[in-house]
C-alpha cells in the first residue's frame, strides 16, 4: 500500500512538473516564471552566468583557474593581518576565531575555505547555484574544515528578484522547492549590521549596478566592521595583460571572463564606499606573474588594486 502511494505521489509530481515546465529560464538552470528586478546586481551576460560549463574545473589547481588558487597566498594574509594582530606563538588555525565574515560572490569556496581554516565563521553567497553546490561538496571533503565548515547560501547580496512580480508558476516552485526562497531574500537587509568583515574578491568587475552592490555590502557590515575589495583597474595596462595576454594568449583566465568597460578605477570604488559612510584605510596594487603563477603587491595600481575600508560607527 505504501509503495503504491509513493508511486502515485511520484506520478503526480511528474505531471505537475510537466505542467509547469514552460516557464522562463532564471539564473542557473532553475526555472521560475518571474521577472528579475531591473536594479539587480546580476549580469546574465557574464560568462559565469551564461556559460556554466567553464566552472566545472574551478578546483583543479593546474587548470584554467589556477591563478585564483595561488591568489589565496596573497589575499588571505592580507585580510587576516587587517582584522587581527597575530600574537607571538599564536596558532594561525584559530587566529580569526569569533570573526563573522561574508564572502560575497564566493564561487566554489576558494577564499571561503582559506578564511575558515583560520577559524573564521564564514558565510559564502553566490548567484550561481552550481557553484554553491560545488563549494558545499568540496567543503565536506576537506578534513581541515571538519569542525568549521563555511555556510554557503545560493543568493545575492541584494534583492535580485522582486517577490511582487512572481506569478502563479513562480509561487508554485517556491512552495515546492524551499531552497529557491533564498533567491527572494534581500541578504543585506536580512543580515544588516551582521558581519565583522565583508570580502568581495574578483567579483565587482562581474556585476551590474555597482552602486547598489556596494551599498548592499556596506549594509550587511557591522558598524566599525571592515570591507575588502580586490578587482582589476580600468587602465589600458590592465586590459592588455588581463584580457589580451592572459585570456587570449596564455589562457591563464577563461576567454571572455572579463569586460574592460566593467573594470573600475580605485577612485571610483573609493567614492562609492565613502558615499556609504565608509572610511577607506588603504588602497594597494598587485600583479600576477603567469610564468611563476604567483601574485605580488606592487607600488602602482595599474593592473589590479585592493581596497580596505571601515564602516562608520
The residue among 41, 280, 22, 59 whose CA lies nearest residue 156 is 41
Q: Give the C-alpha separation, 234 to 221, whole Å.
A: 26
| pLDDT per position as a tens digit, 32-72 | 334 445 567 777 666 565 466 777 889 999 998 999 999 99
pLDDT band for 163, please (50, 70, 90 cuts).
very low
DSSP H or E segment with residue 8: helix 2-19
Mean pLDDT, rounded, for 135-153: 95
Q: Give the C-alpha separation, 168 to 304, whole Å.
A: 45
Express the helix, strand and coil content of the chain in percent, nearest 5 each: 45, 20, 35
Mean pLDDT, rounded, for 232-253: 94
Is-contact 269 300, C-beta < 8 A? no
Is-contact 168 139, C-beta < 8 A? no
More confident call, 173 vs 86: 86
Q: Give the C-alpha separation, 216 to 183, whole Å.
A: 15
pLDDT of residue 87: 62
pTM for this predicted structure:
0.81
DSSP 240: I
- Domain residues for the domain of 33 are 2-311
The residue among 132, 304, 153 whose CA lies nearest residue 235 is 304
**Where residue 108 sits, what CATH number does that domain have?**
3.40.50.150
Is-contact 152 129, C-beta < 8 A? no
- What value, to the nearest 5°, has the Cα angle with vertex 54 and ends 45 and 231? 65
pLDDT of residue 94: 87
pLDDT band for 92, please (50, 70, 90 cuts).
confident
Radius of gyration of the chain (CA): 21
Helix extents (H) in 117-186 = 129-141, 168-176
C-alpha cell at 250: 596564455
DSSP 109: S
Structurally, how many domains does the chain consist of? 1
Mean pLDDT, rounded, for 280-289: 98
Would you state the torsion angle of the CA atoms of residues 211, 24, 128, 139, taken in this order, to the nearest 10 degrees? 150
Amino acid at each position: 500500500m505504501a509503495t503504491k502511494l509513493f508511486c502515485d505521489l511520484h506520478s503526480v509530481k511528474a505531471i505537475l512538473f510537466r505542467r509547469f515546465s514552460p516557464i522562463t529560464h532564471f539564473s542557473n538552470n532553475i526555472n521560475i516564471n518571474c521577472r528579475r528586478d531591473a536594479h539587480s546586481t546580476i549580469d546574465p551576460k557574464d560568462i559565469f552566468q551564461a556559460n556554466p560549463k567553464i566552472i566545472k574545473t574551478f578546483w583543479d589547481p593546474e587548470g584554467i583557474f589556477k591563478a585564483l588558487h595561488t591568489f589565496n597566498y596573497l589575499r588571505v594574509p592580507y585580510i587576516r593581518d587587517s582584522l587581527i594582530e597575530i600574537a607571538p606563538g599564536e596558532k594561525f588555525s584559530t587566529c580569526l576565531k569569533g570573526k563573522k565574515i561574508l564572502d560575497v560572490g564566493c564561487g566554489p569556496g576558494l577564499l571561503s575555505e582559506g578564511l575558515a581554516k583560520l577559524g573564521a565563521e564564514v558565510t559564502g553567497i553566490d548567484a550561481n547555484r552550481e557553484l554553491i553546490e560545488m563549494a558545499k561538496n568540496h567543503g565536506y571533503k576537506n578534513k581541515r574544515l571538519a569542525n568549521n565548515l563555511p555556510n554557503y547560501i545560493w543568493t545575492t547580496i541584494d534583492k535580485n528578484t522582486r517577490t511582487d512580480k512572481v506569478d502563479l508558476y513562480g509561487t508554485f516552485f517556491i512552495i515546492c522547492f524551499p531552497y529557491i526562497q533564498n533567491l527572494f531574500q534581500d541578504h543585506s537587509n536580512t543580515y544588516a549590521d551582521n558581519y565583522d568583515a565583508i570580502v568581495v574578491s574578483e567579483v565587482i568587475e562581474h556585476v551590474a549596478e555597482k552602486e547598489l552592490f556596494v551599498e548592499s555590502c556596506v549594509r550587511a557590515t557591522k558598524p566599525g566592521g571592515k570591507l575588502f575589495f580586490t578587482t582589476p583597474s580600468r587602465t589600458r595596462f590592465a586590459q592588455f595583460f588581463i584580457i589580451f595576454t592572459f585570456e587570449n594568449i596564455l589562457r591563464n583566465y577563461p576567454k571572455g571572463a572579463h569586460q574592460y568597460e566593467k573594470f573600475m578605477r580605485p577612485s571610483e570604488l573609493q567614492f562609492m564606499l565613502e558615499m556609504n559612510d565608509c572610511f577607506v584605510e588603504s588602497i594597494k596594487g598587485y600583479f600576477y606573474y603567469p610564468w611563476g603563477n604567483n601574485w605580488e603587491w606592487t607600488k602602482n595600481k595599474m593592473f589590479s588594486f585592493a581596497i580596505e575600508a571601515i564602516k562608520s560607527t
